Chain A
Amino acid sequence: MKITLDHVTKRFPNRNKKIREDVIAVNDFTFEIPDGKLIGLLGPSGCGKSTTLNLISGLEMPTTGRIYFGETDVTDIPAEHRGVGLVFQNYALYPHLTVLDNIMFPLGNLRGSEKLTKEQMRDKAMEVAKLVQIDELTERRPKELSGGQQQRVAIARALVKMPSVLLLDEPLSNLDARLRLQTREELARIQHETGITTVFVTHDQEEAMSISDQIVVMKDGLFQQMGKPQEVYDRPDNLFVAKFLGTPPINVFEGTVKDGKLYIGDEAIFPVKLAADDSAPTEDASANASSDAAPADGRPVYVGIRPEGFLPKENGAFSLTLKKIEVMGRDTSVVATHEKAQAATIRAIIASDEAVHEKDGIVRFDIKPNKLHLFDRTTERRIDYTAL
């Protein structure tokens, strides 16, 4: 089932009663989740991603805007009639019921013509238990299970009604690192086998990138970008998305584009041609005031360079002050500093067989153009360019 959010906004009254202004958890969201895909809602904590999930499930009603499942407007339909399955961060398994009873619980709510016999319920429950591979554990109680097993029970309970949409709130955050890796593969497999449109919320970009068909990046209740993980990583729409995706994080420098060249400090990294629609620098006063360089000195930009974008070269265009070199087996990480960098240290990842040429404490690199992103200094929006 395709899910469409159309200008959805959710406001909450401020918890601090002295502040009259509402908290806007979700601000004017418009996007479409394609049918049968696994979607990761990604953002730092407090960005409104859980609220978005609750809006889709019907546990919360939007202040304005509409939500559609397929072509049906479900905005006013309460949660119980939307046919969604929801998996909670802490699983919310009923501690007094066995695994099987937990999974059967939603089926016991069906009434009238949909009412099932005990056998039918048991069969259906066992079927999903098999799907999530916990059919051996059905007589146990939740507290006798490991975190990963509890997670599967929670998924089974959400799936047993054959929901049109499966929603998961931070599904992996309560698991340890090893289980997390295993469970996220499992999650992808279950989604693939059932073909149910699945939305999950996470603050962990690696988690979202690794299994999602598409990711939606959010910040402070605002939609940032949506797309296939690799596409978003390769073409971040703004500085926030660029910084949020990728470990180690992207290195950000203050730079200028002047006379067809990209400068960081005094060094020209490589010649660039800014995309036509964006090449004329905005002439409004605020843009100028906020940048310390006059227009004649070129256009101020943020330069983001992915750690893997550094190529060590003896006479490379970009020089950094070396701090240390960490050998990590498969690759080597070069820790350095630069006066125009936003962070205190810069981290470059290079293949371990490549040599780093240090001279008087300086290392030099060439930069791979597809790993370098330019952003407007004021709006922090992406500036497309072509490297010449």
Chain B
Amino acid sequence: MATENATFSGKATTDFSEKTKRRRFIRQGFLYLFLTLWAIAVLFPFYWMILTSFKSQASYNSEQRPKFYVSAPTTENYSEAFTAVPLARYFGNTLIYTVVTTGLMMIVILLAAFAFARLQFRGKNLLFTLFLSLMMIPNELVIITNYVTITQWNLRNSFPGLILPSVTSVFYIYLLKETFEQIPDELYKAAKVDGTSDFKYLRRVMIPIARPTLVTIAILKVIECWNSYVWPRLITDKAEYFLVSNGIQEIREHGFGRDNIPAMMAAVVVISIPLILLFLIFRNKIMEGVSRGGTKA
């Protein structure tokens, strides 16, 4: 039997806990220092773009050593961003693209997930396995033919061309099917007994119950759409169809006479704000959704 306890006198005990307390305190201090340093590294680019966007071009260019503050803030960069380049247009395009793509995708995946989760038909398992195996296919592989296809359909520089290839997602069908399957089958049977049609059941029962997952999927898709760059770049070469990502690249290479950094930063701020707002509002939903299976596309 361990008798080690008997060796502790009362005084030794208090010394012991004092020492551990001090060590804990120092340890916590280092942790916070470490965490704060990285927080600064994350926030600094944001700080810098906001700061620079309020500097006038002349004062920015005259700062041989960049200043951490702005002495004479100006909003001219923001008006410049909206007038010198069609930023509002990029914005509008991205909005249309995001809303339509997300909306269409929700319909497509809802129907498919419902069929897989609740309807009985021959070849269901085989088909679902085929669907799952498609998850392994990287976008880079199929984008080549899609580019050729869309070109041949004469859909380059058009919204259908932008939208159509991204209105299905095998992963989201899978995620939604799993959610649907957690809804007790008894509800479906009860609805059948009451004579509810499949479609009505999907609309009135499944969708409301699965709503948290649906919202998560929608938000993740919105983020993906807002940031998509590669496909829009391939399929559009006219500025009236550019999305914000392409717009930024265009601005960087041709806009504002290339050297107007403050104006570029103003454009960057404007482009970043919608998603950051969305994130701050739906913080928990987004983080939960991403940890459930989002990856940076």
Contact = CB atoms under 8 A, between A and B. Distances in A.
Chain A partners chain B: yes
B17 interface: yes
B6 interface: yes
A160 to B, nearest CB: 11
Contact of B1 (A1, A72, A76, A82): A1
Contacts, number: 40
B6 to A, nearest CB: 6
A82 B5 contact: yes
Contact of A72 (B8, B14, B20): B8
Contacts of A82: 5
Nearest to B17: A76
Interface residues of B, number: 13
* Interface of chain A, main secondary structure: loop
A81 B4 contact: yes
Contact of B5 (A74, A161, A196): A74
A50 to B, nearest CB: 23
B3 interface: yes
B45 interface: no
Contact of A70 (B4, B6, B10, B17): B6
B278 to A, nearest CB: 28
Contacts of B10: 73
B2 A164 contact: yes
A128 to B, nearest CB: 14
Contacts of B16: 76-78
A127 B4 CA distance: 22
A72 B13 CA distance: 11
B190 to A, nearest CB: 32
Nearest to B18: A76
A162 B5 contact: no
A78 B2 contact: no
B5 A69 contact: yes
A227 interface: no
B16 to A, nearest CB: 7
30 contacts: A69-B5, A70-B5, A70-B6, A72-B5, A72-B6, A73-B10, A73-B13, A74-B5, A74-B8, A76-B13, A76-B16, A77-B5, A77-B8, A77-B13, A77-B16, A78-B17, A81-B8, A82-B5, A83-B3, A83-B4, A161-B2, A162-B1, A162-B2, A163-B1, A163-B2, A164-B1, A164-B2, A164-B3, A164-B5, A196-B1
Interface of B: 1-6, 8, 10, 13-14, 16-17, 20
Interface of A: 1, 69-70, 72-74, 76-78, 81-83, 161-164, 196
Closest 7 pairs between A and B when the two form their complex, measured CB to CB: A83-B2, A76-B13, A72-B5, A76-B17, A164-B1, A164-B2, A162-B1
